[in-house]
Amino acid sequence: MKPGGHLATAAALSGVGYAVTGSLGLAAGCFAGGFLIDSDHYLDYLVFDGQWRHPSPTAFLRYAFTYRYKRLVQPLHSVELLAVLGLLAVTWPHPALVGYILGSLLHLSLDILVNGEHILRQPVLFYCFFYRARRRFAADRLVGRLVLPPGAGQAPVREFFTWRLRAWPVDGEPDEQAHVSERTTARNK
């Protein structure tokens, strides 16, 4: 799912959480888990893909929306982390922690449903940190080959606010104007 979809769903979950409980902590946690969890994509971009020389948000979004990642560490996108936080919440049920868990569950569920359809080789397993580690976090071993629409990444701020991915698996049915991403030239294992 694109950031715009996560922003909308996280805001909605936060609003519902606040309306039901009256807790700002829960609402903030829902927003953090539902939207701010994606900050680990930026971490991957800067640290693991070595793009620290190009730290601007638009350079990052252009890179992300054209699926040029080489490594997908994404430590916050992890069922193992959620399990640890869940155990912590059993002993210390702070509203912000519970909200973060709820927001993360929503976020990961939407990622599996939306991204799994087009991008991920193993949509459910991808969100297991140890699964990604076994594949050395290599994007070409975790993500399928995509056909991107013309102009992908050229208007990153506008694309940020879109709901879902406009790309197709290489064996899908893209329109004639689409082009194959750089990912298609990578070795797929």
β-pairing, 146-148 vs 179-180, is: antiparallel
pLDDT value of residue 171: 54
pLDDT value of residue 186: 37
Q: pLDDT below 70 — which residues of the chain?
A: 163-189
pLDDT value of residue 43: 96
In sequence order, which ranges of the chain are alpha helices (DSSP H)? 3-21, 24-34, 39-43, 57-65, 79-91, 95-118, 129-134, 139-142, 156-160
Model-level pTM? 0.83
pLDDT value of residue 179: 46
What is the rounded CA–CA span in Å between residue 99 and residue 86?
11
What is the rounded CA–CA span in Å between residue 115 and residue 97?
26
